[in-house]
Amino acid sequence: MSMKGVAPSLFPSLARGLSASLAQSLARSLALAFFALLAGVAGASAQAARTWVSGVGDDANPCSRTAPCKTFAGAISKTADGGIIDVLDPGGFGAVTITKGITLRSISEGGSILASATNGININAPEKVVSLVNLRIDGAPSSAPGLIGVNVIAANFVSLENCLISGFKSTGSPTTGVGVRIASGRNVTVSIVDSILRDNLVGVDMAPSGGARHNLQLVDVKFAKQPISLRADALSIITARGSMVNETVTLTNGAQLRSYGDNIFAGGFTPSQTVPLK
């Protein structure tokens, strides 16, 4: 049989079949992309602006008020950037690493973190704002003391309000045994208000690197029962108001402490600068 007779009927049919196959493939690809987009949107929307933890909660829960989570670590993955995690009732809610803007807030007096042989809270959230409100961060027991209460690696602004940080006495490294440590290669400001740091080896340690500036604001803060209250190096500036510093203050390589004149310093320490109260 001559190919001249076959070609006109065969090739258009083949072309039509090929076009249909391509169309089906394209339709499947578009459908998969659409459902993937929907899944991404659903995943993002699953993170709530406000979540809750409870001593009787469960991390398998959605972290709602009526079905709270058990730990801060369990709740933070379900909380949106800039959101709030509230503590409903007393409990130990576990160590946590923060990588987004967040507020950890205890409504009652029982919001605590027990950080035996580890850090209580790690903050590695560049350019973000992190707030810790009404928390008790404990490095006990003495048989396995905590490393660092609040470890600030990166953030724009970190605030601690009405917090108690105690029991961080690990001697495993010169950088441990610290209530609050600010050690970043980025500029960062930390504000501590109406809080107590006690029974640590060092209350607050500031160790900027790479030319970064660290600012620490102290308002109505009490340091007690620790060999060193404040230790600051290089481009660190501490501003203190209404605070009681009962132990040693160590400033090296140009670090400064500016006092508003209403603080109490032990051992005859003289601030770098005294700013008159207004």
What are the phi and psi torsion angles at 36 (to 5°)?
A: -65, -40
Give the span between the Cα atoms of 31 and 87, in whole angstroms: 42
pLDDT (tens digit per residue) in 208-217? 999 999 999 9
- The residues that bridge with 202 in the sheet, in sequence order, are 178, 228
Residue with tokens 């660092």: 148
Cβ pair 274, 259 in contact under 8 A? yes
End-to-end CA separation in angstroms for the chain: 108
Cβ atoms within 10 Å of 255's Cβ, excluding its own? 23
pLDDT at position 234, please? 95
Give the span between the Cα atoms of 144 and 67, in whole angstroms: 33
- The distance of Cα 115 from the centroid of its chain, to the nearest Å, equals 15
CATH topology of domain 48-274: Pectate Lyase C-like (2.160.20)
Cβ atoms within 10 Å of 70's Cβ, excluding its own? 21
pLDDT (tens digit per residue) in 116-135? 999 999 999 999 999 999 99
Cβ pair 180, 155 in contact under 8 A? no
CA neighbours within 13 Å on the CB side: how many for 86? 12
With cut-offs at 50, 70 and 90, classify the pLDDT of residue 18.
Answer: very low
pLDDT at position 16, please? 52
CA neighbours within 13 Å on the CB side: how many for 18? 6
With cut-offs at 50, 70 and 90, classify the pLDDT of residue 15.
Answer: very low
Give the span between the Cα atoms of 230 and 249, in whole angstroms: 5
